Homo-oligomer: A and B are copies of this chain.
Amino acid sequence: MNTFANGAAYVGREFVPIAQASISVLDWGFTRSDAVYDVVHVFNRGFFRLEDHLDRFERAMQARRLQPPEDRAQITAVLHKCVRLSGLENAYVAMVCSRGRPRAGGSRRPDDCENHLIAYAIPWIDVIPPEVQERGAHLWIASTPRIPDACKDPTVKNYQWGDLTSGLMEAHDNGFDTAILCDAEGFVTEGPGFNIFIVKDGRVLTPDRGSLHGITRLSVMELCAMQGIPASVEPIPRDVLEDADEVFAATTAGGIMPVSRVGKRILGNDRPGPISARLKQQYWQRHSQGWHYTAVE
């Protein structure tokens, strides 16, 4: 019996079973949500686009002036070891840098804090359950506006999910699977844990604002280029979403996930559209062929 079978974590510079992985209730990563993170997935014992995720994690840490004791090589080794300890073939692997607590008690200065790294590998999570992906997700357009980019940079992956959680609760209240948020000007942004894509007249579009620069989003753009499908990042007014031919979501924790309903509108035949389905199929097929693959050591 592997004690790490439910997941392996690295906290306080030690490896522990996930059930023991915790942080102080006084850590500013909790009390001020002063932390950045990233999530990479492992499929068939290999990381997908590991360097891209590490690049983004480093940019996020720099943006918030967070620096753990571990350098990039050590962070990489920690991630490999978490997966190895867990024995998981497919996994959700998180890296977090938290502000921590002031070295001397009483300080209220972020610069005085001892930043620290948390990492863990746990069994694969789908942001949208597989059976829902099969029929296509039902997407609610939330009334809660997305937090403006000027207040909080959405490209710095963070845990401040208040607006996303509000949108998600609205979606569930209305019998929908998940939500998409628009900003105060009525432009489409992202949902709780995923980027959104719209297919219209054979073109694939994704929002230029209020959104994470998703690594799966990047993969979608690459797949579109390979398939000869025109794709672009641009402002998307809400009515363009409502008038889409197809819609799909993209995230590390689930891949490419077709949507079959947007609000009261039923897309196509209430099933995943052809371009969404083709991209999803390509995404997983290329995974099997070792696309952007780094074997777990």
Chain A residues with a Cβ under 8 A of chain B: 9, 11, 18-19, 21-26, 29-34, 64-65, 96, 106, 108-111, 118, 120, 122, 125-129, 144-148, 150-152, 158-165, 168-169, 172, 178, 184, 192-193
Copies of this chain: 2
Interface centre among A31, A128, A151, A184 (most CB of B within 10 A): A151
CB of A33 within 8 A of CB of B162, answer yes
The prevalent SS among residues of A at the interface is loop
Docked complex Cα distance between A23 and B118 (Å): 13
CB of A32 within 8 A of CB of B161, answer yes
CB of B120 within 8 A of CB of A169, answer no
**List of B residues within 8 angstroms of A108 by Cβ:** 127-128, 168, 178, 192-193
CB of B148 within 8 A of CB of A184, answer yes
Residue of B nearest to A153 (CB): B162
Closest 10 CB pairs of A and B: A22-B22, A32-B161, A33-B33, A160-B160, A152-B162, A147-B151, A21-B25, A33-B159, A151-B163, A33-B160
Docked complex Cα distance between A106 and B25 (Å): 25
Q: A23's contact among B25, B110, B111, B161, by CB below 8 Å, is which?
A: B25
Docked complex Cα distance between A34 and B164 (Å): 10
**List of B residues within 8 angstroms of A193 by Cβ:** 108
**List of B residues within 8 angstroms of A172 by Cβ:** 109-111
CB of A25 within 8 A of CB of B159, answer no
Q: A9-B25, A144-B151 are in contact. List 20 more A-B contacts (CB 8 A).
A: A18-B26, A22-B23, A22-B24, A23-B30, A25-B96, A25-B118, A25-B120, A26-B122, A29-B30, A30-B30, A34-B161, A106-B126, A108-B168, A108-B192, A110-B169, A111-B169, A145-B148, A145-B151, A150-B184, A151-B162
Docked complex Cα distance between A19 and B160 (Å): 25
Q: A159's contact among B31, B64, B145, B163, by CB below 8 Å, is which?
A: B31
Docked complex Cα distance between A24 and B17 (Å): 11
